[in-house]
Amino acid sequence: MRTTQQLSVTLPKEMAQMVRNKVASGEYASESEVVRDGLRALQARDRALETWLRTEVVAAYDDAKANPSSLLSSSQARAKLAALHKRTAKKRS
């Protein structure tokens, strides 16, 4: 029994050219390898997002629910974000 399955996909021209370039450069042996590597990267990103949601986001939600007084008002949050943006912009210039 085969462990692979052949699919047909349609890509935008730029992506198709990128796949061909990866193979032509020798970075990958075939177009299928390029696609498989991209799908593995997508799986890793999805797993990382799921882990972040289950650990950090759930924990922050639970903390906020247990101690609502620790939450910022919308105006406090905007002020903090504006200050952070200002500091970040200064570092870039």
The Cα 21–Cα 13 span in angstroms is: 12
Name the residue range of residue 53's domain.
13-91
Nearest Cα residue to 8 out of 35, 29, 44 = 35
- Cβ distance 34 to 22 under 8 Å? yes
In a domain, residue 6? The reply is: no
Mean pLDDT for all residues in the chain: 96
Give every residue of the chain whose pLDDT is below 50, as ranges: none
Residues whose CB falls within 8 Å of the CB of residue 71, separated by 6 or more in sequence, listed in order: 64
pTM, two decimals, is: 0.69
Classify burial at 32, counting beta carbons within 10 Å of its beta carbon; exposed 0-12, middle 13-18, buried 19 or more.
middle
What pLDDT is attached to residue 93?
A: 78
Percentage of the chain surpassing pLDDT 70? 100
- Cβ distance 35 to 19 under 8 Å? yes
In a domain, residue 21? The reply is: yes
Cα 63 to its chain centre, rounded Å, is 25
In a domain, residue 5? The reply is: no
What pLDDT is attached to residue 35?
A: 98
Classify burial at 33, counting beta carbons within 10 Å of its beta carbon; exposed 0-12, middle 13-18, buried 19 or more.
middle
What pLDDT is attached to residue 91?
A: 84
In a domain, residue 72? The reply is: yes
What pLDDT is attached to residue 76?
A: 96
What pLDDT is attached to residue 1?
A: 78
In a domain, residue 8? The reply is: no
